[in-house]
Amino acid sequence: MHHGRLKVKSTAQQEEQKRQEREKKLKIFVAVRDACFSKRKEGIWDDEALKLTQQVLSSNPDFATLWNYRKEILMHQETVKEKDEVQTIYGAELSFLESCLQTNPKSYGSWYHRGWVSSRMPKPDWARELTLCDRCLSLDERNFHCWDYRRMVVKMSGVSVDQELAFTDRLIGSNFSNYSSWHYRSTLLPLLHPESPEPPSPCLKPAQTSPPPSPQTHSHRVCEEQLLKEYELVQNAFFTDPNDQSAWFYYRWLLGRAEREDMISCVYVSRDEERVAVAFSRPVNAQSVGLLLVLDGQPQRVEWRSVHPRFKHSPLWICDLPPGTISDISYEHNLTVHWTEKHIHRDCALYTGRTESYCRDSAMDQELFRSELSVEKTSVLQSELQSCNQLQELEPLNKWCSLTIILLMRALDPLGYEKEMLAHFQTLREVDSMRSAYYSDLCSKFMIENTILKMEYAEVRVFSISDKNLTTLCHLDQLLLVTHINLSSNQLQRLPPQFAMLQCLEVLEADNNSIENLEGLYHLPKLEEVLLKNNSILKIKHL
């Protein structure tokens, strides 16, 4: 008070006072932190160390070093305390962690430490932990750290998969925009409703009964009956809020293809090069997965190498046979490639008078780009496509709707809907111009898939995809046997290293692009003719 009036501090005075308070707090923080470091260095694991670390972590729960020190203290307590006392100590630790989570609900250090404490408690109360997760997720449904912790709690406590699926039902029912719940649902469905394996062939011996697959080994395929129910659920979601991306992403997962099974998809052998090429369903390291070549019943000592020195993992590996091994055209040879790690093998016969031979599964055989649909699923997807078309009439600028229409068309008939698909991609580039490059690349991918299917239907080894506005190349491992490729009049800027997988290529046409380098033309043993007019190659070394 001054002359009966309240004296108001100036802004400068207030700022100075705040600065002094911050400085005071910082000095205390640094002093306590240094005391913790000193005690740890001296190997002291007493109650005072617990109190000091608690003082720092209460204000800064993301101090990983102090959480580690705290673990050391607690592990020491386990060795000197009775079991009941340890239970009490860890119970107090969980209470302290709850206060840390109130300070920062998304503190990685706090959630991780809580998982560590719960796993070491003599008598963990998993029901209490599950309730904590429910409470935290009700406050913030996208707390990814809490979701991770919940998965650990569910695993340790033996909560059934159907209970967790019901949990996602409740969260999604209260908020369709709960992206985390949709994602969690996608991990649960294959466990609760797995696709039934195909019945064994009558000529084969019945397989031995094996335990149900674990989440780590499951094929992630969902049975059709449940898929059809999910389509209805997710349709309700995106019709409720067409601009929310959560349900659209989940729908995209439903329409996607399951992970490919491990297999040797192709074996190719050439007399002229005395070379064997082996294609796999996924990139592997042939030098570590146990790849064995047997020729006419005799194991061969060969060195496997990828088609480009940059690739340590590749879907295609080649090896050279000793000179004279298979060069005589008057002899027949039988090859077997064993993938010993997976107990898989593939045979290939090189007949008399033939300069090359191959044994392969086509993209159609592997259902690589689309799966065969039952009558019921076809009917449901047709209905879904009709619904999405109706929604697009109401929401013409909704990019998620346009993209889903494309995916539905590809699931139903990728070749039959090709023209409509291209029109929808053009719409996407216009309504979402910031992602036009992504849509161009995705369109290129789908056009390449269609061209592979057309090539296989025609049973030829010529791949022609000129004047299609291609911006990228993909699925090149599927073109191992192609002898002639036409990429002219597109928007390609490079021939990527993966282009070296075209081991049978003789003619390359790539006029009228924007190609700047030819890194992919690396060790193509049969290449004879290259057409590259009107490109952007500036340096001789790129030729």
Tokens of 174: 């209260």
Q: Which residue has the higher pLDDT, 446 or 372?
A: 446
Is the CATH number 3.80.10.10 carried by domain 461-542?
yes
**Using an 8 Å Cβ cutoff, are 400 and 248 in contact?**
yes
pLDDT of residue 212 exceeding 50, the answer is: no
Cβ atoms within 10 A of the Cβ of 319, count? 19
* Residue 403, C-beta contacts closer than 8 angstroms, at least 6 positions apart: 248, 252, 424, 428
Position 336 pLDDT exceeds 50? yes
Look at residue 247 in the predicted model and tell me its pLDDT. 87
Tally helices (H) and strands (E) across the chain. Answer: 15, 13
For residue 444, the model assigns a pLDDT of 97
> How high is the pLDDT of residue 543?
54
What residue ranges in 351-439 does DSSP mark as E strands?
356-360
- Taking 60 as the threshold, does the pLDDT of residue 380 lie above it? yes
Extract the tokens encoding 164: 């967790």
Whether 240 shows a pLDDT value over 90: the answer reads no
Rounded distance between C-alpha atoms, residue 251 and residue 404, angstroms: 8
Q: For 270-315, what is each residue's pLDDT tens digit?
A: 999 999 999 999 999 988 888 999 999 999 999 999 998 889 999 9
Distance of CA 56 to the CA centre of its chain: 38
Q: What is the pLDDT of residues 382-438, one digit of tens each?
A: 988 999 999 999 999 999 999 999 999 998 999 999 999 999 999 999 999 999 999
Q: Which residues pair with 346 in a beta bridge?
A: 337
In terms of Cβ atoms closer than 10 Å to its own Cβ (0-12, 13-18, 19+), residue 260 is middle
The pLDDT confidence band at residue 251, using thresholds 50, 70 and 90, is confident
Domain segments of the chain: what residues? 25-159, 223-258+369-442, 264-359, 461-542
pLDDT for the residue numbered 196: 67
Tokens 């090896």 belong to: 319
The pLDDT of residue 541 is: 62
Q: Determine the Cα–Cα distance for residues 176 and 183; give it in Å rounded to an integer.
A: 12
Lowest-confidence region among 20-34, 61-75, 194-208, 263-277: 194-208
Confidence of residue 215 (pLDDT cuts 50, 70, 90): very low
Tokens matching residue 298: 């005799």
- The Cα-based distances of 368 to 50, 70, 257, 358, 479 in angstroms read 57, 51, 8, 19, 13
Q: What is the DSSP string of 43-104?
A: T--SHHHHHHHHHHHHH-TT-HHHHHHHHHHHHHHHHHS-HHHHHHHHHHHHHHHHHHHHH-
Percentage of the chain with pLDDT > 90?
Answer: 62
pLDDT band at 5 (very low <50, low <70, confident <90, very high): low
440: helix, coil or strand? Answer: helix
Q: What CATH class does 264-359 carry? A: mainly beta
Give the pLDDT score at 242: 84
Average pLDDT of the segment spanning 113-117: 95
Does position 255 have pLDDT exceeding 90, yes or no?
Answer: no
Residue (of 371, 141, 338, 337) closest to 258 by Cα position = 371
Q: CB–CB of 527/505 below 8 Å?
A: yes
Among 472, 524, 515, CA closest to 493: 515
Considering only CA atoms, give the Rg of the chain: 31
What is the pLDDT at residue 10? 61
For residues 348 and 359, is the Cβ–Cβ distance under 8 A?
yes
470 against 206, higher pLDDT: 470
User: Per CATH, which fold does 25-159 belong to?
Assistant: 1.25.40
Q: Is the pLDDT of residue 365 over 70?
A: yes
* Per-residue pLDDT at 272: 93
For 22-52, the pLDDT digits (tens) are: 888 888 888 889 999 998 999 999 999 999 9
Tell me whether domains 25-159 and 223-258+369-442 share a fold.
yes
Question: Per DSSP, what are the bridge partners of residue 507?
Answer: 484, 529
List pLDDT tens digits, range 472-496: 999 999 999 999 999 999 999 999 9
411 residue type, one letter: A
Residue where the block lists tokens 């740890």: 40
Q: What is the mean pLDDT of residues 502-518?
A: 94
Q: Identity (one letter) of the amino acid at 427?
A: T
Number of neighbouring beta carbons within 10 Å of residue 461: 16
Residues 56, 59, 63, 69: is their CA dihedral positive or negative? positive
Residue predicted with more confidence, 78 or 212: 78
The candidate with the shortest Cα–Cα distance to 257, out of 364, 370, 151, is: 370
Report the CATH number of the 223-258+369-442 domain.
Answer: 1.25.40
pLDDT at 465: 96
What is the pairing mode between strands 507-509 and 484-486? parallel
What are the tokens at 64? Answer: 């990983």
- Looking up tokens 């996924």 gives 282
Please tell me the predicted confidence (pLDDT) of residue 216.
Answer: 34
For residue 424, which of 445, 449, 448, 443 has the smallest C-alpha distance?
Answer: 443
Percent of the chain with pLDDT strictly greater than 70: 92
Joined tokens for residue 130: 């599950």
* Close Cβ partners of 20 (under 8 Å, ≥ 6 residues apart): none
Tokens of 485: 């490729």
Q: What is d(CA 409, CA 275) in angstroms, rounded to the nearest whole number?
A: 41
Q: How many CA atoms within 13 Å lie on the side-chain side of 250? A: 29
- For residue 7, the 8-state DSSP code is P
Lowest mean pLDDT among 74-78, 285-289, 440-444: 285-289
Q: Taking the mean position of all CA atoms in its chain, how far away is CA 45? A: 43
Q: Which of 168, 170, 128 is nearest to 147 (CA)?
A: 168
